[in-house]
Amino acid sequence: MPYKHNEPRRHRIPKAKYKVENWGEYNRALRQRGSLMIWVTPEALAAWTPAVTGRRGRPAAYSDIAIETGVMLRLAFGRPWRQTEGLLRSIVQILGMELPVPDYTTLARRSARLSLAAALVKPIGPMTVVIDSSGLKMVGAGEWHLEKHGGKPRRSWRKLHIAIDPDSGDILAAELTTTEDGDASQVGPLLDQVPGPVNALLADGAYDGDPVYRAISDRHPTAAVIIPPRATAVLSQQADTTPTQRDHHIQQIVEKGRMIWQAATGYGRRALVETVFFRYKVLIGRSLRARSLPAQKIEARIACAVLNRMTSLGMPVSRKLA
């Protein structure tokens, strides 16, 4: 919102400068992201091959942990399935273990049927949540191909909806949908995945509306909702007697302006979700590798888990220079 608000005079406004205060720690974290140190828990080794169930038919040779490990390696290193199989085999050989390694066809087939975890992070108490969505490319001719050979664009997209903790940068919840699903419709499903109470929720103007406020109040009645009302927003019928949070936002914007409202409510923290999307597309990629929607949902979910593990190694702490 600040950029759009000041766009006519943006060329006169100097770009803000920041200084990283924990550069030494953050520098070590960046190097650690490329470390090949391998640590496998005894529980994971015990669960690598599933127990015999006694049911009819051929039993599964690999557990979901083995398949999920292959998917995480594929996303973290950006490798195709065949190279992921080779990477996993070499890791098992380096560890000196006698573990069966799933082949690339098994990894591709089983990855679409993995069970999703209930939460991407452990409960950490009351928190502020920021929600937003972004597009991920799926299949079709790229921009370069269209510019060179012409034709109609055929690239299709999926929408990745996430809820993050702006303090830590962790992804708390994730949903992958088609482009036909609106942003507001995913607020409830995202909040159902958040592991703990919510003190405040921030989102951009695309989420403004009574359905979003109801979805939040049904799950977290005391949470502060910080969503900028649209320019055409009007007060509710009970604004004179029992004003809602949205009514307070509209009144404050009318009286003092949007920029003062943003500073008073802390709406500027909403921009941190854009940083998470940038990190996702740089580290994981801008495109989905899976073809079917169920497999793409699994891929996006595991990609968010990989990103959280990279975040846990260390993040920059910066301050704005005067």
Q: At 58, is the secondary structure helix, strand, or coil?
A: coil
Residues 100-118: tens digit of each pLDDT: 999 999 999 999 888 765 5
Q: Write down the domain spans for the chain.
A: 35-112, 119-291
* pLDDT, position 5: 64
pTM of the model: 0.87
Q: Give the CA distances from residue 172 to residues 235, 306, 313, in Å, rounded to whole numbers and listed in that order.
A: 32, 13, 17
Residues 300-319: tens digit of each pLDDT: 999 999 999 988 888 888 88
DSSP 179: T
DSSP 7: G
Per-residue pLDDT at 199 exceeds 90: yes
- Confidence grade of residue 88 (pLDDT, cut at 50, 70, 90): very high
284: nearest Cα among 84, 74, 68, 64: 74
* pLDDT, position 32: 87
Averaged pLDDT, 286-294: 90
Per-residue pLDDT at 246 exceeds 60: yes
Residues 12-67: tens digit of each pLDDT: 777 888 888 999 999 999 888 888 777 788 888 888 888 777 778 777 888 888 99
* pLDDT, position 35: 82
Candidate CATH numbers 3.90.1200, 3.90.320, 3.30.420, 1.20.1300; the one for domain 119-291: 3.30.420
* pLDDT, position 98: 86
- Confidence grade of residue 177 (pLDDT, cut at 50, 70, 90): very high
Instruction: Tell me how far apart the alpha carbons of residues 117 and 99 are, in angstroms, rounded to a whole number.
Output: 24
More confident residue, 122 or 271: 271
